């Protein structure tokens, strides 16, 4: 028989924590979504009876000549600047920066 002492592990304990038992806590997480339209200043406008692009430009930009910018911004929905219809929704580009 050997006279060497063997290691005594009788008082050793272990504990294992698993993330599987605990749900992640997202209670302090917040989110915010900004519309790119708000960031760049673009707005939408619904055409009303009697509107023209010049009238809309005068009202929103202070110059009837700005109708061209409205037309260019809406080529996907307006084929002819003289033919717009009530109920049509168009984009109003941002106002030009003041010089």
Task: Give the pLDDT score at 21.
Answer: 61
Interatomic CA distance for residues 65 and 69, integer angstroms: 9
At the topology level of CATH, where does 42-92 sit?
Membrane-bound Lytic Murein Transglycosylase D; Chain A (3.10.350)
Task: Give the pLDDT score at 99.
Answer: 41
Q: β-strands 43-46, 89-92: how paired?
A: antiparallel
Mean pLDDT in residue range 10-26: 72
Distances (CA, A) of 51 to 65, 80, 81, 86: 15, 14, 11, 8
Domain boundaries, given as residue ranges, for the chain: 42-92
Please choose, from the candidates 17, 19, 82, the residue with its C-alpha nearest in 3D space to the C-alpha of residue 53.
82
**Using one digit for the tens of pLDDT, what is the confidence trace for 48-97?**
999 999 999 999 999 999 999 999 999 999 999 999 999 999 999 987 65
Interatomic CA distance for residues 29 and 32, integer angstroms: 10
């Amino acid at each position: 028989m050997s006279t060497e002492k063997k290691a005594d592990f009788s008082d050793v304990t272990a504990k294992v924590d698993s993330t599987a038992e605990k749900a992640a806590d997202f209670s302090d997480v917040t989110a915010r979504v900004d519309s790119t339209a708000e960031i760049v200043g673009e707005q939408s406008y619904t055409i009303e009876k009697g509107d023209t692009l010049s009238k809309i430009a005068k009202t929103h930009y202070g110059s009837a000549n700005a109708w061209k910018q409205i037309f260019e911004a809406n080529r996907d929905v307006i084929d002819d600047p003289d033919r717009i219809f009530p109920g049509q929704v168009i984009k109003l580009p941002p106002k030009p920066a003041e010089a």
